[in-house]
Amino acid sequence: MEGWGAVYLQQVVNGLTIGSVYALIALGYTMVYGVLEMINFAHGDVFMVGSFVGLLVLALLAPSSSAAAGGGLLLVLGAVFLGAMASCGSLGVTIERVAYRPLRASSRLGPLISALGVSLFIQNAVMLLVGARPKAFPQLIPKQLYHVGGAVFTNVQVIILLASLLLMLALDQFVRRTRWGRAMRAVAQDAEAAGFMGVEVNSVVTLTFLLGSILAAGAGIMVGLYYGIVDFFMGYVAGLKAFTAAVLGGIGNLRGAMLGGLLLGLAESFGAGFVGAHWRDVIAFGVLITVLVLRPGGLLGEHLPEKV
C-alpha cells in the first residue's frame, strides 16, 4: 500500500491509540452520569493522579529503565498499574463520599460546583507536591517499530490498544453479567425503586466511582508510556476530550462512551494528519457539535434502554 492509502492507515492506527485512552476515561464520566445524572468534572484529575502515582511507583521500583529489563519488566509494569489503580480507586471513592454524597439531595448546581472545586483542589495539590514543570515518564518498554502497508506503529501502541480493549470488554461483561452489574443498571433506571427492591444504592454508587477511577488510572499510565511526559494540567484537556467522547457516544451508555472515544481519536488524528496539528481540537469539537445538532442524544443515546 503506497501513497494516500498508507497515510490513511497511519491516521487510523494513531487515532485508535489515543481514542482507546479517551474511551477509558469517558467510561468514568458516563457511569457516574448514568447512576447519579451528574458530571464528575474531577474525573480528569483522577486520570492525572494515576499517571503521577505510576511515576512514583516506577521511581521506587525501577530507578532506571535498565533495572526493569528482561523478566522484571512485566512485574514492574504490573506493580505500576496496580499501584495507580488502587490509589485512584481510593481517591474516587473518597471524592464521592466527601464531596458528592452530602449534596446528593440538593439541586444539580451543588454537586456541579463541588466537582469543579474538587478538580481545582487536586490540580493545585499535585502542582504544589511535584512542581509545575512537566515530568519525564520513563520509557520502560523497549520500542519496536512495525511496518504494515506503509504505516509505522510501535509495540507501545499495540499494548495500549490491547490493554484498553481488554479493560473495556471486562467492564462491559461485568455490568451485563454480574449481580453488581445488574444492581448498577437498576440504580441507573430508578434509584428509588431499586432501593425498595433491596439494592444498596450507596454501595452501587461507590462501586461506580471505584470502577471509573480504576479505568482512569490505567489510561493515565498508558498516556505516560505513549508520550513520555506527564504534568499536573494534563487531566483538564484529557478530561474535556473524554467528556466530549461520552456525549458524542450518548452519555450514560457504556458502549456509546467506547464508540465516542474511538471516533474522537480518529477525528483528531485525521484532522492533525490532513489539515494540521493545530486544527486537531477544532475538528474534533466540530464533529461533536455536528453530531449533537443532528442527534442530541448522541450516537447510541437512544438505542439502548439500559444506561449503565
Dump pLDDT digits (tens) for 143-184: 889 888 888 899 999 999 999 999 999 999 999 999 999 999
pLDDT confidence of 48, banded at 50, 70, 90?
very high
CA–CA separation, 58 vs 43, rounded Å?
23
Give the model's pLDDT for residue 304.
47
Give the model's pLDDT for residue 285.
78
Query: What pTM value is reported for the model?
Result: 0.90
Residue 182: exposure state from Cβ atoms within 10 A (0-12, 13-18, ≥19):
middle
Task: Give me the mean pLDDT over the 117-126 stretch.
Answer: 95
In this structure, are residues 137 and 206 in contact, taking their beta carbons and an 8 Å threshold? no
Q: Could you report the per-residue pLDDT of 263-274, keeping only the tens digit for each? A: 999 988 888 888
Give the model's pLDDT for residue 1.
56
CA–CA separation, 182 vs 38, rounded Å?
20
The values of phi and psi at residue 71, to 5°, are: -70, -20
Judge whether residue 141 has pLDDT over 90: no
Give the model's pLDDT for residue 258.
93
In this structure, are residues 249 and 23 in contact, taking their beta carbons and an 8 Å threshold? no
Mean pLDDT estimate for the chain = 88
